[in-house]
Amino acid sequence: MIDRLHPLSILIYFLSASLIPAFSRNPVLHTLCLITGFLMLFTWADAGKILKRVPVFLLFFLIISLFNPFFYHNGNTVLFYVAGRRFSLEALLFGADSALIVIGVSVWFISLSHYMTGDKVLLLFGVLSTKLATIVSLIMRIIPHYASYINAYRKQQKLMGIYGEGTFLERLRAEAKIFAGFLTWSLEHSMTTADSMTSRGYGVAKRKSYRIYRIRQIDILIMITSVIFILLLGLSLIRGTFETNYYPVIVMQPQGREAILSESVYIIYSLFLTVKHLIKVNYGFFENKQSKI
Amino acid sequence: MLKPEIIFASSRRNALTRIICVGLVLLCIFAGIFSLFSVSSIAKSGTEITDKTTKDTESFSGVLPDSHSSKDTFDTILNIYKWKMELEGAKNLQDLIDGAFCDDPLNGTNQNYILSIIQNPAITADFSKYTKALSDALYDGISTEEGIFPTSLQKSLVTLQLCLDYNLYKSLGEDYVNQNRLAVEAVNHENLLNYVNQEVTDTALYHTIGEKGIMSYIYGLYMLDNCPLSEPSVSEPEIIDAILSLQCEDGGYTLSGSEGDTDVTAMTLQALAPAYLLKYEKYIELPGDLYERLRQSVDKSLNFLSLIQESTGDYGSFGTTCSESTSQVILALYALDIPPISDERFIKDENNCLDGLLIYKCNDKGFSHSRGSVSNDMASSQSLQALTAILNSYEYESSETINAENISVSKAPAFPTKIVIPFGVILICLTAGLILFIKKKKIIHLISALALGALIIGIFFALDIKTKESFENEKSSIIFSESTNDTIEINFLISADTINAGDIFPASNLYVAKDSTVFDVLKEVCRIENIQLDYEKNSVYGLAYVKGIDSIYEYENGDLSGWMYRVNGEMPNIGLGYYTLSAGDKVEILYSTNIGRDLND
B439/B489 same-domain check: no
In a domain, B187, yes or no: yes
Q: State the average pLDDT over residues B51-57.
A: 38
Residues of chain B positioned with their CB less than 8 A from the CB of A82? 463-465
Q: State the average pLDDT over residues A132-157.
A: 88
Question: How far is A103 from A65, CA to CA, in rounded Å?
Answer: 12
Residues of chain B positioned with their CB less than 8 A from the CB of A75? 532, 551
Give the residue among B124, B204, B139, B211 at the shortest CA–CA distance from B171: B124
| Sequence-distant contacts of A103-106: CB under 8 A, at least 24 apart | A103/A34, A103/A57, A103/A60, A103/A61, A104/A18, A104/A21, A104/A22, A104/A30, A104/A33, A104/A34, A104/A37, A105/A18, A105/A19, A105/A22, A105/A33, A105/A37
Where residue B141 falls among pLDDT bands split at 50, 70, 90? Answer: confident
In a domain, B250, yes or no: no
Give the residue among B453, B427, B454 at the shortest CA–CA distance from B30: B427
Domain boundary among B201, B234, B267: B234
Is A82's CB within 8 Å of B523's CB?
no
pLDDT at A236 over 90: no
Q: State the average pLDDT over residues B222-248.
A: 79
Identity at A21, one-letter amino acid code: P
Question: How far is B277 from B291, CA to CA, in rounded Å?
Answer: 10
DSSP calls for A215-270: --HHHHHHHHHHHHHHHHHHHHHHHTTT-EE-SSS-EEPP--HHHHHHHHHHHHHH
Q: State the average pLDDT over residues B57-69.
A: 41
Where residue B2 falls among pLDDT bands split at 50, 70, 90? Answer: very low
In a domain, B146, yes or no: yes
Residues of chain A positioned with their CB less than 8 A from the CB of B527? 84
User: Strand pairing partners for B493?
Assistant: B588
B490/B454 same-domain check: no
Q: State the average pLDDT over residues A21-35.
A: 92
What pLDDT score does B3 carry?
Answer: 45
Residues of chain B positioned with their CB less than 8 A from the CB of A78? 468
Identity at B221, one-letter amino acid code: L
Q: State the average pLDDT over residues A248-268.
A: 84
pLDDT at A223 over 90: yes
Q: State the average pLDDT over residues B58-71.
A: 46
What pLDDT score does B146 carry?
Answer: 73
In a domain, B454, yes or no: yes
What pLDDT score does B439 carry?
Answer: 84
In a domain, B380, yes or no: no
Is B467's CB within 8 Å of A80's CB?
yes
With contact defined as beta carbons under 8 Å apart, do A50 and A42 qualify? yes
Is B532's CB within 8 Å of A86's CB?
yes
DSSP B280: S
Highest average pLDDT, of A176-190, B158-172, B453-467, B469-483, comes from A176-190
Question: How far is B353 from B386, CA to CA, in rounded Å?
Answer: 10
Q: State the average pLDDT over residues B37-56.
A: 42
CA distance A232 to chain B (A): 30
Of B62-76, B122-136, B153-167, B365-379, least confident by mean pLDDT is B62-76
B433/B502 same-domain check: no
Where residue B415 falls among pLDDT bands split at 50, 70, 90? Answer: low
Residues of chain B positioned with their CB less than 8 A from the CB of A91? none
What pLDDT score does B67 carry?
Answer: 43
B41 versus B198: which is more confidently predicted? B198
With contact defined as beta carbons under 8 Å apart, do A28 and A101 qualify? no
B400 versus A115: which is more confidently predicted? A115
Give the residue among B142, B132, B143 at the shortest CA–CA distance from B102: B132
Q: State the average pLDDT over residues B395-412.
A: 67
User: What pLDDT digit, counting tens, does each position of B77-106 carry?
Assistant: 888 888 888 778 777 888 888 888 888 888
Query: Is B256 in a helix, a strand, or coil?
Result: coil
Query: Alpha helices, DSSP H only, in B464-513?
Result: 468-472
In a domain, B181, yes or no: yes
Q: State the average pLDDT over residues B159-164.
A: 81
A159 versus B349: which is more confidently predicted? A159
Give the residue among B334, B434, B456 at the shortest CA–CA distance from B73: B334
Whether the link from the prior residue into A248 is cis, omega within 30° of 0, is: yes
B428/B488 same-domain check: no
Q: Closest CB to A84: pick one of B523, B532, B553.
A: B523
User: What pLDDT digit, counting tens, does each position of B297-319 carry?
Assistant: 888 888 888 888 888 888 877 76
- Chain B contact for A86 (CB, 8 A cutoff): yes
Give the residue among B164, B218, B236 at the shortest CA–CA distance from B196: B164
Highest average pLDDT, of A121-125, B56-60, B374-378, comes from A121-125
Highest average pLDDT, of B173-187, B395-409, B494-508, comes from B494-508
What integer best gives the mean pLDDT of chain A? Answer: 87
B522/B422 same-domain check: no
In a domain, B197, yes or no: yes
Query: Is A76 in a helix, a strand, or coil?
Result: coil
Question: How far is B66 from B420, CA to CA, in rounded Å?
Answer: 46
Mutate to test the interface with B, among A85, A88, A246 (most CBs of B within 10 A): A85
Residue of B nearest to A249 (CA): B551
B457/B481 same-domain check: no
B530/B437 same-domain check: no
B533/B429 same-domain check: no
Residue of A nearest to B462 (CA): A83
pLDDT at B36 over 70: no
What pLDDT score does B48 carry?
Answer: 40
What pLDDT score does B414 carry?
Answer: 55
Domain boundary among B463, B488, B520: B463
B451/B550 same-domain check: no
User: What pLDDT digit, counting tens, does each position of B507-559 carry?
Assistant: 989 999 988 999 999 999 999 888 999 998 876 776 889 999 998 999 988 89
| 3-state percent helix, strand, coil for chain B, nearest multiple of 5 | 55, 15, 30
Burial class (CB in 10 A: 0-12, 13-18, 19+), B547: middle
Interfacial A residues in 131-150 facing B (CB < 8 Å):
none
- Chain B contact for A23 (CB, 8 A cutoff): no
Mutate to test the interface with B, among A59, A71, A81, A245 (most CBs of B within 10 A): A81
pLDDT at A54 over 50: yes
Phi first, then psi: give them for residue B580, nearest 5 degrees: -85, 135
With contact defined as beta carbons under 8 Å apart, do B105 and B133 qualify? yes
B451/B484 same-domain check: no
Residues of chain A positioned with their CB less than 8 A from the CB of B523? 84
Question: How far is B527 from B542, CA to CA, in rounded Å?
Answer: 19
Question: How far is B306 from B329, CA to CA, in rounded Å?
Answer: 10
What pLDDT score does B54 carry?
Answer: 38
pLDDT at A199 over 90: yes
Domain boundary among B409, B435, B463: B463
Question: How far is A236 from A24, CA to CA, in rounded Å?
Answer: 9
Highest average pLDDT, of A24-38, A241-255, B316-330, comes from A24-38
In a domain, B213, yes or no: yes
Of B151-155, B179-183, B491-495, least confident by mean pLDDT is B179-183
Residues of chain A positioned with their CB less than 8 A from the CB of B463? 70, 82-83
- Chain B contact for A21 (CB, 8 A cutoff): no
B208 vs B19, B157, B254, CA distance in Å? 88, 12, 19
Q: State the average pLDDT over residues B452-470.
A: 82
With contact defined as beta carbons under 8 Å apart, do B309 and B343 qualify? no
Question: How far is B522 from B524, CA to CA, in rounded Å?
Answer: 6
Beta-sheet strand order (sheet of B533-538): B533-538, B543-549, B552-553
pLDDT at B58 over 60: no
What pLDDT score does A92 carry?
Answer: 94
A200 vs A119, A204, A210, CA distance in Å? 21, 9, 15
Q: Closest CB to A73: pick one of B464, B465, B534.
A: B534
Question: How far is A270 from A210, CA to CA, in rounded Å?
Answer: 31
Where residue A230 falls among pLDDT bands split at 50, 70, 90? Answer: very high
What pLDDT score does B1 carry?
Answer: 45
What pLDDT score does B56 carry?
Answer: 38
Where residue A290 falls among pLDDT bands split at 50, 70, 90? Answer: low
B129/B44 same-domain check: no
pLDDT at A93 over 90: yes
What pLDDT score does B44 carry?
Answer: 43
Q: Give chain B's domain count.
A: 3
Domain span at residue B229?
104-234
Query: Is A179 in a helix, a strand, or coil?
Result: helix
B3 versus B89: which is more confidently predicted? B89
What integer best gives the mean pLDDT of chain B? Answer: 78
Q: Closest CB to A81: pick one of B471, B534, B535.
A: B471
Is B551's CB within 8 Å of A72's CB?
no
Q: What is the CATH number of the domain that holds B574?
A: 2.170.130.30
Is A82's CB within 8 Å of B463's CB?
yes
How would you label B291-329 residue by residue, b for 16+ Cβ within 10 Å and e otherwise? bebbeebbebbbebbbebbbeebbbbbeeebbbbbbbbb
Residues of chain A positioned with their CB less than 8 A from the CB of B471? 80-81, 84
B442/B483 same-domain check: no
